Structure 1
Amino acid sequence: MHLKEPADPSTGTTASTVTTTIPPKDATTTTSVTEINHKYPRPLYFAFGSNLSSTQMRIRCTHDPELSSKPMAIARLDGWRWFICEAGYANVLPPPELRVGRQETDGDAVPISGEEDTVYGILYEMSPEDEFLLDGYEDVDHGASASKSKKVPTGIRPREQGKGDYNKWYFPAIVTKWLDGDGDEDGDKVQTTLIYIDEERVRVGPPREEYIGRMNRAIREAEMLGFPKAWAEDVMRRFIPDAEG
């Protein structure tokens, strides 16, 4: 996504544990994600753009690259949408019941993500220090105010986006395949994840020229891990031309 120099990690904070409450569709009650037995206690990072590339993650996560750049799982967010936004980078749009601000006014124009209407990603177990470094690349505003939304629980969206390019959301993803090598490929199917979302730039736009190359590397490396090629062709290739095509 964005290529910015990260701030000094000594001045920022990262999430350690998150209590997430999901409002089910057409329901009057809520389901707490803390009731689910998670395989990992901290949220795993859900990469959906150029950070699908473990090569890029190793370059960015310099505190503990062996840990933070290792793909842990392939997962999906049902009912979400993947697109290239007007800034020229990958973005995701939550379901209608979780949208805020421009997501509500502009979101309906974003095409659904394939027949499954879902977003696939790669999960990483980042160290807190590398998470803060990635916050810098994604231009997260650590000084933003607490969430003012009465629609989205603070466990999902703790803060406003503020002056940053992306905001940090925490949401349970469905794991389709574990890659962590512990012999338990099926494992727990739900894992709370950290997702960087641009709430302000929600209109579809063309990718930046330099981003096309990074996305092609990301798609290629992800597919080598078992990332669904048919979904990538149907959804990502709508925006990202194949450099080898």
Structure 2
Amino acid sequence: MLSNTNLQPTERHTQPPIPTPLITKPPQYPKYLYFAYGSNLSPAQMKTRCRINPTHSATPLAIATLQHWRWLICESGYANVLPPPSLRVANQDSETAHKIPVSGPEDAVYGVLYQMDIGDEMILDGYEGVDEEAANAGVRDGVPVSVRPRVQGDGSYNKWFVEADVTKWLDGEGVRAGLENKGKVPVLVYVDENCVGMSKPKFEYIARMNRAIRESVDLGVPMGWVEGVMRKFIPE
């Protein structure tokens, strides 16, 4: 069950548990950061999910943007992002996807960056429903395999690796990650390539997104962007 930390009484809900991987090695951190754009904008939620090294993995490092990406609540009832036209595959280049509006005057998606332990990334893969047995992607898909190493397969989301623009390092945390003063950083983004139609959020997701909005705005995500983009889908 998720911790009720920072949740209003009407926002409490449960979440299916994800088994904790058996990790016995010293902490290991990949060269990329994790770009959260949905309910994981909430450090409180991240602390409940990152059970290998929560103190490190759930500490927000920076506010960043994905330029020319678009934010939406898709048919699954959860947050999703649509990449720029040059990086789209299959359904992402459909007439349905073309209806997704530009994400604010910034034409960008805001997110919170975390440096996750590899074990915690494995846990997050479970929450995001990544198909670990999905086939390798091919160059014929039109997206570099460095960006999209595998197809989505039977998963709910796929793992993409792109660059994000840092708009604000938090309390010098860029120093800890060895990325201080860098404007662009490599990031992991979970993308649902199949569900690209705009829809309403699941009822239980509204509570988590409102907590995520409160916490991320406190960290530095612009309220104007939240009101213009997220609030089109997430009621208060």
Question: TM class, shorter-chain normalised?
Answer: 0.7 to 0.9
Paired residue type of 2:143: V
Give me the CA root mean square deviation.
Answer: 2.1
TM-score by length of 2: 0.85
> Which residue of structure 1 lines up, in the alignment, with residue 12 of structure 2?
none
1:159 is aligned to 2:150: yes
Instruction: Report if aligned partners of 2:65, 2:109 keep a CA contact under 8 Å in 1.
Output: yes
> Which residue of structure 1 lines up, in the alignment, with residue 79 of structure 2?
90
CA distance in 1, matches of 2:83, 2:173: 31
1:202 is aligned to 2:192: no
> Which residue of structure 1 lines up, in the alignment, with residue 3 of structure 2?
none
Instruction: Report if aligned partners of 2:21, 2:122 keep a CA contact under 8 Å in 1.
Output: yes
> Which residue of structure 2 lines up, in the alignment, with residue 230 of structure 1?
224
| Secondary structure class of the residue paired with 2:35 | strand
CA distance in 2, matches of 1:45, 1:65: 14
Unaligned runs of 5+ in 2: 1-14
Pick the aligned partner of 2:36 from 47, 53, 57.
47
> Which residue of structure 1 lines up, in the alignment, with residue 18 of structure 2?
6
Unaligned runs of 5+ in 1: 17-39
Runs of 4+ in structure 1 deviating by more than 2 angstroms, as ranges, are: 3-11, 180-186
CA distance in 1, matches of 2:205, 2:148: 27
- Greater mean alpha carbon deviation, residues 176-185 or residues 196-205: 176-185
CA distance in 2, matches of 1:7, 1:148: 31
- Gap change, CA 1:60 and 1:5, over 3 Å in 2: same
TM-score by length of 1: 0.82
> Which residue of structure 2 lines up, in the alignment, with residue 124 of structure 1?
114
> Which residue of structure 2 lines up, in the alignment, with residue 113 of structure 1?
103
- Gap change, CA 1:204 and 1:240, over 3 Å in 2: same
CA distance in 2, matches of 1:121, 1:88: 19
Pick the aligned partner of 2:169 from 159, 166, 178.
178
Instruction: Report if aligned partners of 1:47, 1:121 keep a CA contact under 8 Å in 2.
Output: yes
Q: Alignment length, in residue pairs?
A: 214
- Gap change, CA 1:149 and 1:4, over 3 Å in 2: farther
Paired residue type of 2:102: I
- Gap change, CA 1:138 and 1:6, over 3 Å in 2: same
| Secondary structure class of the residue paired with 2:182 | coil
1:170-217 superposed Cα distances (whole Å, 9 cap, x missing partner)? 000000001153586971000000000000111000001110110000
User: How much identity, in percent, do the aligned residues show?
Assistant: 53
Instruction: Report if aligned partners of 2:130, 2:159 keep a CA contact under 8 Å in 1.
Output: yes
Q: How does 1:96-107 map to 2 (within 5 A)?
A: 96-105=85-94, 106-107=96-97
- Gap change, CA 1:169 and 1:108, over 3 Å in 2: same
**Deviation (angstroms), 1:117:** 1.1
